[in-house]
Structure 1
Amino acid sequence: MAKENYSADSLTVLEGLDAVRKRPGMYIGTTDSQGLMHCLWEIIDNSVDEALAGACNDIKVILHTDGSIEVDDNGRGIPVDVEPKTGLTGVEVVLTKLHAGAKFGNASYNAAGGLHGVGSSVVNALSSRLDVEVDRNGKTYHMAFHQGHPGVYQDADPSKPSPDSPFKRTRKNRATELEVIGKVSPKTTGTRIRYWADPEIFNDTARFSYEQLIDRVRQTTFLVPGLKITVIDENIPETGDASVDAMLEVDTPQNAAGIAGNAFGHDTDAGIGDVDSSDGADSIDKADHADGNSDTGQVEDTAADDATDNREAQAASQAALASAARPHRRVEEFLHTGGVKDFVDFLSKGEPVCDIWRISGEDTYTEETQAVDGKGELHAQNIERTCKVDIALRWVNGYDTTLRSFVNVVETPGGGMHVDGFLQGITKQIRKSVEDNARKLKVNLKDAKTRVERDDILAGLVAVVTVRIAEPQFQGQTKDVLGTAPVRPIVSKMTEQQFGEMITGSKRGYKEQSGRVLEKIVGEMHARIQARKTKEVTRRKNALEAASMPAKLSDCQPGNDDIAELFIVEGDSALGTAKAARNSSFQALLPIRGKILNVQKASLSQMLSNKECASIIQVVGAGSGASFDLSQARYNKIIMMTDADVDGAHIRILLLTLFYRYMRPLIEAGHVYAAVPPLHRIALAGKHKGEFIYTYSDDELSGKLADLERRHIDYNPDIQRYKGLGEMDADQLADTTMDPRSRMLRRIRMEDAQKAAGIFDLLMGGEVPPRRQFIVENADDFDRSKIDT
């Protein structure tokens, strides 16, 4: 029956932007938060393309309180004249016609992010309202749209446009006239687009991410040196101390209006700071605020002038307080001049193994493409393209990989031909250099297993790979992967040539750096091979496997994994006491001899060959580095139990460095602790005989003794001071340090990973002058009680 009813009447033809609203996922991927952000990227990318064309250097992104978003640039402005083929103005063509724009040829945009000609029109189709203003020819032009259709809104208040205002749609197949709403300087050009996302399209889970916006804006300014992008968020006002409001009492409406005018009436542009090459980032977070300064003039020796000066000073003071207390918009500005080199510096976390290396240049390739001829028809033509390559990279002392890739400032999370070419080039040159320096690097070329793999190279690599080409081929509108095949051999060849000179040390100034890079990569290779061999040894051992554990480990009974504790004990003497003090059902002991290796300075191979470090990793049982698996850890708590002196604190720091560098998830999950043994033991006398008080610092001891004397409690003046854990007997150690019912532990936390990395690099790294300077500058603020906190 269904076949008999199937005719031409059953067919549906979607015209214009209706297809976008019917199948939005084809154009923006999803209708959740990802799709919502993708719409914003499309508008911003169009402004950035103006910057790439050399016509724009200032972009503003404004987040309005009504949920709309506005993007303002000082580019050339969308053309306002009539496009001959459609009879529509350039503004209406760009915003209502799919696959329309100036990016299908090479005249206006040689390298652009928006190349499919659907970005602006798709955003328009998926908006409940979109307003566009264009500055050109000394005039400001305006046009409005509702769900992609042009027309006119009747706003009750023109300064507060709303998608709920009455809308009169332009009749079908008729051009919409551009409304002239103002005048500008003949030299002033630019485009402002403000849109409201359509709730009929986006689902209830769609949320705008301010953090994603800031990250995208920051990376864009890295990739387009000299471009300033300002983000103005009117939804999150910044305020001063609310208590200041109480000080701003005004008695008259005139005073109230004056203060309000000073606080809100004048927005000032946030200044642009100098690029800080030390951290690679020149992001400025500044809020618009009032200028509270006032000129009091020259003071005259008269009572009237004194009174005037007092009033002016008081008004200035009140204005400053008002500015500090009242809400104001959050404004963040971004401007960078160092390009991808600064970007890599910004992304680098950890101690660098080498300087930032740069690979750049350009080459040409021939591509067959459909080009529009003079009659407006498409024909296949061979066109010579230019591919510009700009890559920055460095290795840091770690195992995490940070590889970001871009095509015409559009990020390609899935990589593509440019990333494949880059990785192919560095892999080939590194393998060649390892073979040429096999004896120096202690690599056995006869062993087939000792071959550098790509994962060895990527460990600790921070790289930004960018190419600029005309009309790149992406996989889909979301532009996740670059598919232009000729880019791969160009990037590979350029990488082989320039990177080859660096890694072989033939380029001046690179010999020492290349040696460190090769040593790190070979170390990663050996660690990978060793990890494969010892994988089972580093896992949780059952009763049959216990014999493979270090002989000095005093393990706890199996079956208590959820409460099991590993005490890393300083010295064999303390081990003897701890054995008698522990609860063997869930407490294990591992002694270490003195100060272990400082792994922040040592290489990976040195760490693995160190007996103490290897034993700790083996006993914890969850692996190390990138292969660390927290779920395989044999103990719920790792407790560092060292003497309560300077040497003990140093040992704890060295242990923490090992955990941070190679078993970081233990710290992040809160499984690492420091035991807190006492320093003194006070024996009470008189009616309190047989009672003891423990103190943990000299200051606490003084305070406790003073308290006892004030309360007239007798005590033995011979205060016992523990020089080490071994001086305690088992009962004392259990009561004060090991028994969960009476002990005190300090949990090691890492709330800020980036700050923690900086502290480890500063205090435990190989650079002595910065550490000396830090110690000198902070010596007066030293607080022993803050150690391990």
Structure 2
Amino acid sequence: MQSNQNSNYNNESITSLKGADRVRLRPGVIFGSDGLEGCEHAVFEILSNSIDEAREGFGSKIEVVRYKDQSILVKDYGRGIPVDYNPKEERYNWELVFCELYAGGKYQNNSGENYEFSLGLNGLGTCATQYASAYMDATIYRDGMRYDLHFEKGENIGGLVKEPTHKRVTGTQIRWLPDRDVFTDIAIPLSYFQDILRRQAIVNAGLTFELFDEESGETFTYYYENGIRDYLAELAGNTSLTDVHYLQTETRGRDREDKPEYKLKFEAAFCFNNQINLLEYYHNSSFLEYGGAPDKAVKSAFVSAIDKYLKTNNLYKKDEKKITFSDIEDSLILVINSFSTITSYENQTKKSITNKFIQDAMTDFFREQLEIYFIENKMDADKIANQVLANKRSRETAEKTRVSIRKKLTGSLDMNNRVEKFVNCRTKDVSRREIYIVEGDSALGSCKQGRDAEFQAIIPIRGKILNCLKADYNKIFNSDIITDLLKVLGCGVEIKSKHNTGLNSFDINQLRWSKIILCTDADVDGFQIRTLLLTMLYRLVPTLIEEKKVYIAESPLYEIVNGKDTYFAYSDAEKANIVSKLKGKVKINRSKGLGENQPEMMWETTMNPETRRLILVTPDDVQRTQEMFELLLGENLAGRKEFIAEEGYKYLDLTDIS
């Protein structure tokens, strides 16, 4: 076999990235992504250093500016980064901080003698962000001096500029523009800054974060005097089953016997609420999107403690299955804010921690504290137990419903699984197939004879269907009319429920029709049936409306005969316009119900794509319909009386009052 002449792989083929290229050519390694998410993480790296200073007691305010040109400024009132000459390293500190990866003041004594609990652990953030910037300007005040540094694309320009200052303040101000040559997207939205600063205010009690957005000219301030306790009270409002319960502790331990001992401290606040649920974990101020050790601890401890309480108080029914964490989570609002002097992050983006000691310590602490809490607060304990059991039983009912739905809606439309009175069309081309949902068996007959059997199918509605806004899912899926309709549509259902895991079977690619056409009489009963059908579609398959698959066939109100010619009018105004143009004797008939129409008339007015009138149903239309449906047929009796009193006169001509 001959070798490729261009694939010389030898000792000279091995190269290493040096200087700024270590970040600029591989930003994903440091920031987790070379896209917008990585660019956002760079902001967090700079912000982290200011937070570390404030948490050590140096400065109580951090300012952030989002500029129109997409540059960012972070300013703190800490001690100021040491940037002058370092005799021990025989280099300037600014070179170590801004130009050396894995350098900084957080490496001694596990996490550094200057920072006991540090958010910026790895000595990467400031340098990596500088390397990934089109430019970076740093201004530092410390020791009665002002220090200025300027960098462009990872290179220092002009060295360290140093001059005395009479300002008594100390601190660090860094402004940089993320480099489009490094990140594919640098347009960080305002919402990111708002979210990250609000979160940092929550877990750094008493620290003020001020955000100025140059684009909108707005200033946003975030401050929680009591940290997570104030945050939980804000979330829960007046809807909680229990008051906010606050816990804190401090301990020491190690992840393995041969590993160094480290310090852990954490605070937690929780309450139970049957309207809101939330779990958030922070470690050294970093939001743990994926949780890790704290999340595992909470799941284990809460299930163990609540299950024990249920068993001890004989609250389970005979042979009832044990609760799961999802039954607790449905009603739990909990925030943990933890700090440790050694932290094992899953990666540099700090979205999950893996410390075994942290997990074990939290699990033991929560088990013990929950047991004490239940003993000391018997009324709250009973509320929690009953709510968790209610969640569990609701989940189990939802699971039974899911199985029932799956059985009812699966299977093809063949002779063995036939939908009553459904009339199919011949073509298999979904892009042409139309399904008419018609009112009653009489309409079925005239539509069946008047249709084009090649591409138009029909299914009749036998009476009025359920109000799907009011009925629960069990009742809905016990309705043969509804399950038959869903079988014919073929795309499954979309269930909106907190227990909907595994319940949704919707797949628009399985829809058998290009158009779903609602065809009802132009009278009060017809309008009500149409509204009930729309409500069913809105609740069970809303995507079909969003994807513009649902139409209403507009039926004519009047048949106008002039000699041998027949005209159809769909409104009073249209009737008047037609009559004004006709000569000779004119006969006007109120249009009959669909079932009384001749097949030829059905084809001409309702089914012929060339002459019919179809109204596309949009999400806004359905929302307005739903609101009116709630008003006229729902439980708002006072609202209904008021509406009839004010608007009823407009609809007198549609009533059967003689």
TM-score, normalised to structure 1, is 0.63
Aligned CA distance change for structure 1 residues 53 and 513 (closer, same or farther; 3 Å): farther
Counterpart for residue 500 of structure 2: none
List runs of 5+ in structure 1 lacking aligned partners. 153-169, 171-175, 235-286, 289-330, 371-378, 785-789
Q: Does 1:478 align with 2:349?
A: yes
Shift of 1:596: 3.2
Shift of 1:632: 1.8
Say which SS state the counterpart of residue 544 (structure 2) adopts.
Answer: helix
Q: Superposition pairs for residues 133-532 of structure 1, below 5 Å? A: 133-135=139-141, 141-152=147-158, 170=159, 176-179=160-163, 184=167, 186=168, 188=169, 190-202=171-183, 206-211=184-189, 213-215=190-192, 217-218=194-195, 220-222=197-199, 224-225=201-202, 227-230=208-211, 232-234=213-215, 287-288=216-217, 331=218, 333=220, 335=222, 361-368=247-254, 381-390=260-269, 406-424=282-300, 445=320, 466-470=336-340, 471-489=342-360, 506-507=380-381, 514=388, 516-530=390-404
Shift of 1:48: 5.0
Q: Does 1:114 align with 2:120?
A: yes
Say which SS state the counterpart of residue 43 (structure 2) adopts.
Answer: helix
Say which SS state the counterpart of residue 218 (structure 1) adopts.
Answer: helix
Preserved contact between residue 561 and residue 567 of structure 2 (Cα < 8 Å)? yes
Preserved contact between residue 642 and residue 649 of structure 1 (Cα < 8 Å)? yes
Say which SS state the counterpart of residue 603 (structure 2) adopts.
Answer: helix
Shift of 1:718: 4.4
Preserved contact between residue 675 and residue 745 of structure 1 (Cα < 8 Å)? yes
Give the whole-Å Cα distance in 1 for the aligned partners of 2:231 and 2:151.
38
Q: Which amino acid aligns with 1:522?
A: E
Preserved contact between residue 327 and residue 392 of structure 2 (Cα < 8 Å)? no
Counterpart for residue 59 of structure 1: 63
Aligned CA distance change for structure 1 residues 652 and 106 (closer, same or farther; 3 Å): farther
Q: Which amino acid aligns with 1:70?
A: I
Shift of 1:393: 7.9
Give the whole-Å Cα distance in 2 for the aligned partners of 1:455 and 1:10.
54
Of 425, 429, 433, the residue aligned with 1:556 is 425
Say which SS state the counterpart of residue 29 (structure 2) adopts.
Answer: helix
Q: Which amino acid aligns with 2:554?
A: V
Q: Which moved more, 1:103-112 or 1:24-33?
A: 103-112
Shift of 1:103: 5.0
Q: Which amino acid aligns with 2:590?
A: Q
Q: Does 1:641 align with 2:515?
A: no
Shift of 1:676: 2.6
| Count, aligned residues | 615
Shift of 1:123: 0.6
Of 540, 552, 569, the residue aligned with 1:674 is 552
Shift of 1:559: 1.7
Shift of 1:546: 4.1
Give the whole-Å Cα distance in 2 for the aligned partners of 1:667 and 1:452.
38
Say which SS state the counterpart of residue 409 (structure 2) adopts.
Answer: coil
Counterpart for residue 623 of structure 1: 492
Say which SS state the counterpart of residue 73 (structure 1) adopts.
Answer: strand
Q: Superposition pairs for residues 680-695 of structure 1, below 5 Å? A: 680-686=557-563, 689-695=564-570
Give the whole-Å Cα distance in 2 for the aligned partners of 1:607 and 1:133.
66
Identity across matched positions, percent? 24
Deviation per CA, 1:153-211, whole angstroms, max 9, x where unpaired?
xxxxxxxxxxxxxxxxx4xxxxx35456x765x3x555332223345544xxx022444
Deviation per CA, 1:86-108, whole angstroms, max 9, x where unpaired?
46676654333433445554876
Q: Does 1:586 align with 2:452?
A: no
Give the whole-Å Cα distance in 2 for the aligned partners of 1:222 and 1:648.
53
Give the whole-Å Cα distance in 2 for the aligned partners of 1:782 and 1:368.
79
Deviation per CA, 1:661-696, whole angstroms, max 9, x where unpaired?
433332332223333323x1141425xx4221221x
Shift of 1:126: 2.1
Give the whole-Å Cα distance in 2 for the aligned partners of 1:135 and 1:145.
18
Deviation per CA, 1:6-51, whole angstroms, max 9, x where unpaired?
6xx9997877666445654321234344433332332244445556
Aligned CA distance change for structure 1 residues 767 and 781 (closer, same or farther; 3 Å): closer
Q: Does 1:541 align with 2:412?
A: yes
Shift of 1:109: 5.4
Q: Does 1:28 align with 2:31?
A: yes
Give the whole-Å Cα distance in 2 for the aligned partners of 1:393 and 1:147.
51
Preserved contact between residue 538 and residue 622 of structure 1 (Cα < 8 Å)? no
Aligned CA distance change for structure 1 residues 381 and 481 (closer, same or farther; 3 Å): closer
Aligned CA distance change for structure 1 residues 749 and 525 (closer, same or farther; 3 Å): same
Shift of 1:475: 1.6
Q: Which amino acid aligns with 1:744?
A: R
Give the whole-Å Cα distance in 2 for the aligned partners of 1:773 and 1:336.
45
Q: Which amino acid aligns with 2:566?
A: E
Preserved contact between residue 131 and residue 144 of structure 1 (Cα < 8 Å)? yes
Aligned CA distance change for structure 1 residues 383 and 48 (closer, same or farther; 3 Å): closer
Q: Does 1:123 align with 2:129?
A: yes
Give the whole-Å Cα distance in 2 for the aligned partners of 1:521 and 1:137.
63
Preserved contact between residue 241 and residue 384 of structure 2 (Cα < 8 Å)? no
Give the whole-Å Cα distance in 2 for the aligned partners of 1:386 and 1:710.
87
Aligned CA distance change for structure 1 residues 126 and 208 (closer, same or farther; 3 Å): closer
Aligned CA distance change for structure 1 residues 200 and 567 (closer, same or farther; 3 Å): closer
Preserved contact between residue 103 and residue 109 of structure 1 (Cα < 8 Å)? yes
Shift of 1:776: 6.6
Of 39, 47, 50, the residue aligned with 2:42 is 39
Give the whole-Å Cα distance in 1 for the aligned partners of 2:87 and 2:584.
105
Give the whole-Å Cα distance in 1 for the aligned partners of 2:323 and 2:332.
18
Give the whole-Å Cα distance in 2 for the aligned partners of 1:33 and 1:777.
54
Deviation per CA, 1:722-775, whole angstroms, max 9, x where unpaired?
5x54454433333333332222223333489xx969987995999967994998
TM-score, normalised to structure 2, is 0.74
Give the whole-Å Cα distance in 2 for the aligned partners of 1:362 and 1:227.
23
Aligned CA distance change for structure 1 residues 590 and 232 (closer, same or farther; 3 Å): same
Preserved contact between residue 549 and residue 618 of structure 1 (Cα < 8 Å)? no
Q: Which amino acid aligns with 2:65?
A: V
Q: Which amino acid aligns with 2:339?
A: I
Say which SS state the counterpart of residue 666 (structure 1) adopts.
Answer: helix
Give the whole-Å Cα distance in 1 for the aligned partners of 2:519 and 2:444.
10
Q: Which amino acid aligns with 1:134?
A: I
Preserved contact between residue 762 and residue 770 of structure 1 (Cα < 8 Å)? no
Shift of 1:385: 0.7
Say which SS state the counterpart of residue 76 (structure 1) adopts.
Answer: coil
Say which SS state the counterpart of residue 486 (structure 1) adopts.
Answer: helix
Shift of 1:530: 3.4
Aligned CA distance change for structure 1 residues 493 and 642 (closer, same or farther; 3 Å): farther
List runs of 5+ in structure 2 lacking aligned partners. 1-9, 495-503, 652-658
Deviation per CA, 1:456-513, whole angstroms, max 9, x where unpaired?
988x8997765422343212212233212234345556777759979x9854665775
Say which SS state the counterpart of residue 741 (structure 1) adopts.
Answer: coil
Aligned CA distance change for structure 1 residues 649 and 394 (closer, same or farther; 3 Å): farther
